[in-house]
Amino acid sequence: MTRKLLLAALAFACVAVSLILPLAAFAQGATPSTTVLPIQWGDMANALFKVAVEALYPVVLAAVAYAAGKLPWWVSMWLTTQRIDRALQTGADYALNAVAGATAGKALNVDVGFTVLKVALERILGSTPEWLIKEMGGPKGISERLFRVFKFDETVSDKNTLTPLVNALSTLSFVK
């Protein structure tokens, strides 16, 4: 069976080459001659290489995706943890820039603490894949993680900032 398949592939290659070479020469604008047929091998090889690379690109990406699914549990866990940390930091940075009165590097007071947490939560929920939101514990888990990301002053506590946000989660429009 393997031998027949190999012979069939060889026959197909011979037919394809015998058809492609004259067509390629004609497409290049070569005039038919009875004595000489100029074939521009460099251009043809370059074009074939481009086609081969474009055809192999999805195959390579699929192989990488398959291999990523077969990673050891500890590598997968480490990558997920890194992704969670990056999402939290991105949301926190956005909130510090978006909320008036919040300054990066300085401790936040109780007046802006709730607003900063809410804006960061909205940013994370709007820009993070659903699987990662579930991995972080949903909106409640993200809120609790965000509370640990920010630097608050002594006026901020769990009771006056985090608990009101967690209680308000069901009423916020951006929480699904």
Indicate the burial class of 150 (C-beta count within 10 angstroms; 0-12, 13-18, 19 or more).
Answer: buried
Contact between 118 and 173 (Cβ < 8 Å): no
How many Å apart are CA 103 and CA 108, to the nearest integer?
8
Per residue in 110-134, pLDDT (tens digit) is 888 889 999 999 999 999 999 999 9
Percent of the chain scoring above 70 in pLDDT: 87
Domain boundaries, the chain: 16-69, 73-171
Mean pLDDT computed over every residue of the chain: 85
3-state SS class at 136:
coil
Query: Is the pLDDT reported for residue 66 higher than 70?
Result: yes
Query: Is the pLDDT reported for residue 86 higher than 90?
Result: yes
Q: How many residues does the chain have?
A: 176
Quick count: other Cβ atoms within 10 Å of Cβ 29?
A: 7
